[in-house]
Structure 1
Amino acid sequence: MTVSESTPHPLGVSLREDGLNVAVYSETAEAVDVAVFDDDGAETRHRLDRRTGHVFHGLVPGGIGTRYGFRVHGEWEPGEGLRHNAAKLLLDPWARAVEGSWGAGEETFGHTFADPEQRNDADSAASVAKAVVVDPAFDWGDDAPPRVPYADTVVYEVHVKGFTQRHPDVPEEIRGTYAGLAHPAAIQHLVDLGVTTVELLPVHQFVQDSHLTEKGLRNYWGYNSIGFFAPHHEYSSAGDGGGQVAEFKQLVKALHAAGLEVVLDVVYNHTAEGNHLGPTLSLKGIDNGSYYRVVEEDPENYFDTTGTGNSLNVSHPAALQLILDSLRYWVTEMHVDGFRFDLATTLTRQWGDAHVHSAFLDIVHQDPVLAPVKLIAEPWDTAGYQVGGFPARWSEWNGKYRDDVRDFWRGQGSLGELTQRITGSPDVYEADRRSPLCSVNFLTAHDGFTLADLTAYDEKHNDANGEGGADGESDNRSWNCGAEGPTDDEGVNALRARQRRNMLTTLLLSAGVPMLLGGDEFGRTQQGNNNAYCQDDEISWFDWSTVDTDLLTFTRDLIALRRQTPALRPQWFSGAAGPNTVSLRADGEPMGQQEWDDTSARAYAVQFQAEGSPTVLLLVNGATNPVEFTVPPAPGAPWTLVVSSDPQQEVGREVAELLVGEWSTTVLRSA
């Protein structure tokens, strides 16, 4: 074995018959050592003596199961953006699996200092996680991506651990793991519900925040990534010695076999290394200025549009390669079906400003591996709101949808605003010839109130987070229906039940791509906590003993109606050749401009029609009194009442005129 046999690509560690090929990119390092650890923790170092361009590379002894890290030698000049320190064991950014965890304490994990100019030379190897070389072999059998068209997609956002941690039909030893989510009982719930696409909260390897662990809390959501290729090891029932990779693949294979897509919520906008006082865990110590966007006038500090202390330098080829290699890996090797990009606007900031022709968007657009998968943007960051600003092949979380529909169902806003959202937000997308399918419609997500809490709380209740209630959004556009939190008032509880159904009906009948927050289908509550990112406990975990079975049935019926009715799934905006909508006053006459703008107008009907599809009529009453609707002539068979949030309505009966109760929706269908 000789160093001359190594290659500068691929980056990271790759298996060869004669050992491990190691390649590390750094424009500023002077030397790179690979530190290999045996079962007792003893370390052996191997210098990478070859350099091609800015890549250090070499062959080192090892194979499947080898635990390793990097020690990078070079200058420590924070004022110049240089943070090399060979005392710190660094995680391979291309690591496929991670073993162990990061400890706490200034001398080891934190590497923070009262004076950030002073280098901390305490060796960190004993208190940081190690990369693990994994066996890439896996029997995928006849696995194939479901490739669900956007028009047919119903997204279900869910946390790997929280979904099964308390599930009575999942064996205790695999609850809260990839294997738990792959269990038939878990998958059956998803299939019966009728969703098509499971969007997993972050599963990239992440780090526990020291400020949370000091308070006895944990980062539950996982938006603190450090390894863009490695499945988070705490969600593995197979342990963290590499088995987590095969277990995640088995999860994808099981979901695919049930016809379900897998979309990952990915965090490429920042890492867990934080600001200039944060820990040195990986990229900081390898090549700080290439991977992170440092402030040009003050290179010690970081340009941050994420609220976490740093932003990846997506104007640099090294950072772009890291992100794109990761995306391709998850598609080709892990078989996932798409990505939801956290704070995606940060990824479009070429030189600080967001740009539709940024290097990141251009590279993704031309990549053949990514061409068939779903790409969903969270189109904002701490410095800008960009809903409607992404390229046509992207879909976006539509924050305008969330806000306007919430407003209507708490008695504010207008019918004009509500109709824009129900019809696919043409005010956002149509001018640029973008489809309604660019709009991912949602009312609730992991960040904020659940649907049950949206109807039960006017104020956030985040005391358990240990920040005195200062964290979390204060403007929730929620309505507690007359009492704050749990109540024995039958009238309040009945109104809450109608409001949950009203919002689910609006969401699942609107043009676009609906996203349902996991647990909303059966009334999951977080007891008013609207920022449960640090609640890895009963506040966040699904409580399967308190399922509202009536609400669950209602949600299933709505999803089935959507999937059976092409008129509810337009692929383009209204026109002579495609699906369209007609809006009517309660008396059956067309809506006029006065009604659109009148914020006191609270009731109307929307008719969804398309050739070859049943016609659907949605009757909306957001008023405080019942409203008599004159139903227009049915275009085919008589109108049949199929869904209603009003418990007084009789599902299945034919309808000509209808009294719709206060705060209610009713859906009619003409086959």
Structure 2
Amino acid sequence: MSINAGDHATLGAVYNGQGVNFAVFSENATKIELCLFSADGQREVTRLVLPEQTGPIWHGFVPGLKPGTLYGYRAYGPYEPDRGHRFNPRKLLADPYARAFRGYWSSGKEMLGYEPSGHYTNTQPSQIDSAPFVPKSVVPDIERLWSGAPGPRREWNETVIYEAHVKGLTQLHPDVPAELRGTYEALGSDAVISHLKGLGVTALELLPVHTFLNDGFLVDRGLTNYWGYNTLGFFALEPRYFGPNGADGFRQAVDRLHAEGIEVILDVVYNHTAEGDHRGPTLSFRGLDNKAYYNLQASHARYYVNDTGCGNTLAINHPFVLRLVLDSLRYWVTVMGVDGFRFDLATVLGREHHGFDLHGGFFDAIRQDPVLSRCKLIAEPWDIGPGGYQLGSYPADWGEWNDKFRDSTRRFWRGDAHSAQELAGNFLGTASVFDRPGRRTTSSINFVAAHDGFTLADLTRYREKHNEANGESNKDGHGNNLSDNCGVEGDTDNPDILERRALRIRNLLATVFLSQGTPMLLAGDEIGRTQRGNNNTYCQDNEISWINWASADNDLLAFAQNLIALRSNTPVLRQSRFLHGRIRNDGNPDVSWSGLDGGTLNWRDPSLDGFCLHLRGEAEGSFSPEGTALIVVNGNEQPKKLFLPDPGPGLVWQRVLDTAEPDTEPVDVVDRKRQCASAHSVSLFVGKAAVS
């Protein structure tokens, strides 16, 4: 085969109808070879040296080459780990821009760039050719822009997020066709969409679907990486979820979800890669240009900066690594049709040499990008690096996972002293954290359970984590779960304990969906899913993690559906502006507080366990005079006398929710001075026009 200069403008392998252009970034390599393989990937057919270098981009064009061709790279340069260089041409390298891979990665010594016979810090490069043990990158066909149903583009204050795992959501669903269970296609099935719409979900947030690897230590234990936070290919779908239609199945699911008014958000991992620390394999980035792709320790370039806890940290502040991330994000929007992203350990993305910077290169690039600036963007606002906790510090139009909401809500309903004060702040969008110039209450992503930690049901079943199945002697996972077993650890037949647990679950859910902000629900929490006390199921690709639809708590599902519908139908509960008790045009404050007895609250009282929160809609300037609501919280184990404030001229209160009596129909309040707040409950009253 022949190869000519080609073009450097578009990175990756690009077919133009006449052949394929290859372009790959490496600023420290001395030579890069393109390796082409037989259709089965077993035989290396030829090697072609990329003939041109434009800046740090190596490129070449191969006439006559077709889509579907399998390829990889070999990069030449110094093997000097102490200077940050780990070039080894015996390692076949995946194209960082590959759209798909053929084959599977091994976890053996063949993948290592160094000779493992001695101490792992020795400087001898491995002499084993890794090509037989790694997948090959696949030349894609001519890429076409998204032509499916357009995204619904929901406003943030209309958004209800449902965090789910592709396989965990669908593997055991009896109404999903058997051949589709656990696949991308299943996400667009009638059964899944019916459930999401019936629940009131507006956005499906998927755990990582980029190509990822099983960690070697998990393989040794007979386990797999289930969550997928071990990415290698930022443009390629993980093939373990392929159904009959392969990658097209993902597009079909997105198309169907869009048609039903549901956005798709991807959980993405751009903070580290699957290559791990200095003992890890050489698969792609490390072999192409270790010093450019990763942040290395200033005092010893052999070792990696580990702000992620995963062994390495991607050098987002390098212009070509930043370009890789931005190109990947745009690909998933413009070609695959997704609507937004949740960024794992997002502080890494904003950390410059001087620390986290709201106006750093990554954020500035997003702001000016005509595609990405229109997406829903959500941060996990922390990592383990210096200054890693950055809740409330992200751009105005970003959402942020609010762990303060999670923790203080758990504390209150567990019965901790001095927790009502923080809970009260939760109901108003955690203004102490998020009320900054240009920000809205919807910046706060409100949740009490997520993939990492206890499920909602397990928060009421287990006092301690039970991660024995992970093979780490129950030492993994978070130890401070702020949970309570209500009297018995694990399963029980005691009806009093079961009712206590059910009430607490309803209270936790009600707090999420009655609070200002953007609510997020962990998949399966609406039907009582348990993980048997495992709070770190990252390696449990089995029935511990999969949703057991056959054991669904239908009463809880009905409650959740009603709760989400109440939020949707009561705009005062989802105002985007922060409420601080300011006097509005009608002379009344936009929010006011009182005790259950109608008196003034003593916020310094550590035993405070109840309050009334009176919300009015004037802050938005567009609600009707009936836009008023009252949230009543009673954390006490005894019912309390309740004195309701005046709802306003011409209005009466209607009780529409009581978590202690979830089946009660809405009822008008006849005498607001003689009401009762049920024990350990949340109630919601809304204003309605009085009948003359």
The CA distance in 2 between the partners of 1:230 and 1:289, in whole Å, is: 24
Work out whether residues 414 and 597 of structure 1, in 8 Å CA contact, stay in contact via their aligned partners in 2: no
1:108-507 matches, cutoff 5 A:
108=111, 113=116, 114-116=119-121, 117-136=123-142, 143-238=149-244, 244-351=246-353, 353-383=355-385, 384-412=388-416, 413-507=418-512
* Matched letter for residue 54 of structure 1: P
Q: Is there any run of 5+ residues in structure 1 with no aligned partner, and where?
A: none
SS at match of 2:686: strand
Rounded to whole Å, the distance in 2 between the matches of 1:150 and 1:108 is 45
Aligned residue in 1 for 2:635: 622
- 1-side partners of 2:120 and 2:18: how far apart? 45
Give, as a single letter, the amino acid of the residue that structure 1 aligns with 2:678.
Answer: G
Q: Secondary structure at the match of 1:302?
A: coil
- C-alpha distance in structure 2 between counterparts of 1:121 and 1:577, whole Å: 75
Residues of 2 paired with 1:598 and 1:83: CA distance?
Answer: 61
In structure 2, the partner of 1:603 is: 610
Q: Structure 2: how far apart are the matches of 1:572 and 1:98?
A: 46
Report the alpha carbon displacement of residue 6 of structure 1 after superposing the two structures with TM: 0.6
How many Å apart are 1:102 and its aligned residue?
0.5
Q: Amino acid of the residue matched to residue 631 of structure 1?
A: L
Distance 2:552 2:140 in 1: 40
CA distance in 2, matches of 1:644, 1:225: 44
- The 2-side partners of 1:110 and 1:640 are apart by 69
Give the distance between the partners of 1:252 and 1:10, measured in 2 at CA.
26
Maintained 8 Å contact 2:91/2:113: no
Which of residues 644, 647, 671 is equivalent to 2:658?
Answer: 644
- Counterpart contact for 2:77–2:88, Cα < 8 Å: yes
The 10-residue stretch of structure 1 (286-295 or 641-650) with the greater mean CA deviation from structure 2: 641-650
Instruction: Kindly provide the amino acid, as one letter, of the partner of residue 652 in structure 1.
Output: P
For residues 110-145 of structure 1, the C-alpha deviation after alignment (integer angstroms, 9 at most, x for no partner) is: 867233322112111111111112335669555111
Task: Using structure 1 for the length normalisation, give the TM-score.
Answer: 0.96
- For 1:6, the equivalent position in structure 2 comes to 6
Q: How many residues align?
A: 664
Q: Which residue of 1 aligns with 2:513?
A: 508
The residue number in structure 2 matching 1:584 is 594
1:11-42, Cα deviation, whole Å (9 max, x unpaired): 11111222110001111111111111112421
Q: Cα gap change, 1:112/1:437 in structure 2, threshold over 3 Å: closer, same or farther?
A: farther
- The offset of 1:650, in angstroms, is 3.1
CA RMSD of aligned residues (A): 1.8
Distance 2:168 2:113 in 1: 28
In structure 1, how many angstroms separate the alpha carbons of the residues matched to 2:175 and 2:422? 43
Offset of residue 73 of structure 1 = 1.4
Q: State the shift of 1:174 in Å.
A: 1.1
Partner of 1:530: 535
| Change in CA separation of 1:57 and 1:137 when aligned onto 2, cut-off 3 Å | closer
| Residues 1:634 and 2:647 aligned together | yes
**Residues 318-338 of structure 1: CA deviation (Å, up to 9, x unaligned):** 111111111111111111111
**Partners of 2:370 and 2:584 in 1: how far apart?**
32
Specify the SS of the correspondent of 1:597: coil
Alignment check: 8 A CA contact 1:603 1:627 kept: no
Distance 1:639 1:100 in 2: 64
Q: Report the Cα distance in structure 2 between the residues aligned to 1:607 and 1:84, rounded to whole angstroms.
A: 64
Give the deviation of 1:196 after TM superposition: 0.5
SS in 2 for 1:272: coil
- Write out per-residue CA displacement over residues 240-273 of structure 1, whole angstroms, 9 at most, x where no aligned residue: xxx5332211111111011000011000000000
Structure 1 residues 131-190: Cα deviation after superposition (integer angstroms, max 9, x where no partner): 112335669555111100001111110001110001101111110010111111111100
> C-alpha distance in 1, partners of 2:47/2:380?
42
Structure 2: which 5+ runs fail to align?
618-622
Distance in 1, Cα, partners of 2:336 & 2:88: 34
Task: Supply the AA of the counterpart residue of 1:558.
Answer: L
For residues 199 and 112 of structure 1, the distance between their equivalents in structure 2, rounded to whole angstroms, comes to 41
Letter in 2 for 1:29: A
Amino acid at match of 1:149: E
In structure 2, how many angstroms separate the alpha carbons of the residues matched to 1:118 and 1:354?
37
Q: Which moved more, 1:460-469 or 1:653-662?
A: 653-662
Kept in 1: contact 2:113–2:126 (CA 8 A): no
- C-alpha contact 2:454 2:531 (8 A) present in aligned 1: yes
Q: Give the percent of matched residue pairs that are identical in Structure 1 and Structure 2.
A: 47
Compared CA separation, residues 139 and 379, structure 1 to 2 (3 A): closer
Distance 1:512 1:185 in 2: 29
- Equivalent pair of 2:146/2:334 in contact (CA under 8 Å): no
